[in-house]
Amino acid sequence: MHMPDEVDESDCCGNGCTNCILDNRPAPSQRALLAGKRNVIENYARFRLLSNEAMNGDAQVRILHFGHTLTEDADDDDDSILDIPPGHHIMLRAELAGHAVLRPYSPYWTDFVGKQFKIVVKLRAGGPMSDYLATLQPMQVLQFRGPIGNYAHDASRAKCIFIIAQGVAIAPTLPLVAEVLDNEDDMCCIRHLICAQDLQHVYFRDRLLDFAQYWNYNHCLYLAHQRCAFCADGCDESCEQLRKSLRYRETVHTGRLDANRLASHRPVSSSNAAAAAPIVIISGHSSFQQAMRETAASVLAVPDEHIFLL
């Protein structure tokens, strides 16, 4: 069995992740230490698939819900919890065609005491892990290890936090938002900028509307390829069909999030949050993360150490 901070080359998935496990070793959980318990996922642990549902009616996007399970001969394990802090991912290891395949996934919901978590997975055509997950049956057992990452929220300093998410990668940004909004002493303001191909591919809209009831949160949708039955070349913001599909408090722009649009979100008020250097968190494919990082660094004047790629 590995110690939590023991990793070697074979623990890396080889996909060039920004937060590679070799540089971000799973660390002992502070919350677990405080509770006098062990974080069950610090070493590869067994999790049973509890449910597998399509998201927004798209069979290629799955919500997978897992619960910790012991080996048949193990005793009850009351001395452990599951801690996956917001902004961290976990590694799935599966034996496929005779070799170990590793892929990172980012939970968007975790039950600390019940030792359960949920991930949203977009199945990629021809991808080995996607092919495996597509055939997964309820009650099947998989192995996960983590948490891996380097983001830690500092609630003591008011600031503006830009969270820029692409497609399904909105999922792991939800706990980051909740962490701020659930703490009424936290004076940080969140600008949640969501990039999707069209409205159908914006996930967790209900959750975003719940967040929008808080004074320190707003979100804006950027739809790169929105097209209704009447707009052959794609909808623009005046499209009646698009407007009718929006809900109260939803702000939408057609086209991509670019430098000018990002600049329009610069805080203008004289509050403490607006005066402090902002934080930028970017969740999405690595090419999206790199492009957004450069844009944010130039238009928001954010120092490099304030930009976090999930």
Residue closer to ligand FAD by CB (options 120, 194) is 120
Please give the residue ranges that form the binding site for ligand FAD (CB under 6 A). 17, 19, 89, 103-106, 119-122, 124, 127-130, 168, 171, 285
Q: Looking at beta carbons, which residue is closest to ligand FAD? A: 127
Report, in Å, the least distance between residue 15 CB and ligand FAD.
6
Report, in Å, the least distance between residue 103 CB and ligand FAD.
4
Judge whether 104 is annotated as a binding position.
Answer: yes
Residue closer to ligand FAD by CB (options 172, 278) is 172
Residue closer to ligand FAD by CB (options 136, 231) is 136
Q: Cα separations (Å) of 309 from 94, 123, 201, 211?
A: 25, 22, 22, 22
Residue closer to ligand FAD by CB (options 247, 285) is 285
Residue closer to ligand FAD by CB (options 17, 188) is 17
| 3-class secondary-structure state, position 205 | helix
Report, in Å, the least distance between residue 283 CB and ligand FAD.
8
Report, in Å, the least distance between residue 33 CB and ligand FAD.
25
- Sign of torsion, CA 172 177 183 186? positive
Judge whether 252 is annotated as a binding position.
Answer: no
Sequence-ordered strand ranges (E) for 98-166: 99-105, 109-111, 116-122, 141-148, 160-166
Judge whether 283 is annotated as a binding position.
Answer: no
- 61 token code pair: 């996007």
Are 211 and 192 a contacting pair, CB within 8 Å? Answer: yes
Judge whether 139 is annotated as a binding position.
Answer: no
- Rounded Cα distance, 223 and 257, in Å: 9
Report, in Å, the least distance between residue 185 CB and ligand FAD.
30
Report, in Å, the least distance between residue 146 CB and ligand FAD.
10
Residue closer to ligand FAD by CB (options 105, 204) is 105
Closest Cα partner for 18 from 292, 304, 285, 306?
Answer: 285
Buried b / exposed e across 98-115, counting CB within 10 Å, b at 16+? eeebbbbbbbbbbebeeb
For the chain, give the number of residues: 310
Q: Which amino acid is at 132?
A: Y
Note every long-range contact of 126-131, with CB atoms under 8 Å and residues 24 or more positions apart, other chains counting.
128/96, 128/97, 128/101, 129/92, 129/94, 129/96, 129/101, 129/103
Q: Which amino acid is at 184?
A: E
| 3-class secondary-structure state, position 38 | strand
Report, in Å, the least distance between residue 175 CB and ligand FAD.
12
Judge whether 105 is annotated as a binding position.
Answer: yes
Residue closer to ligand FAD by CB (options 105, 203) is 105
Known binding residues for FAD are 103-105, 120, 122, 129-130
Annotated binding residues, written as ranges, equal 103-105, 120, 122, 129-130
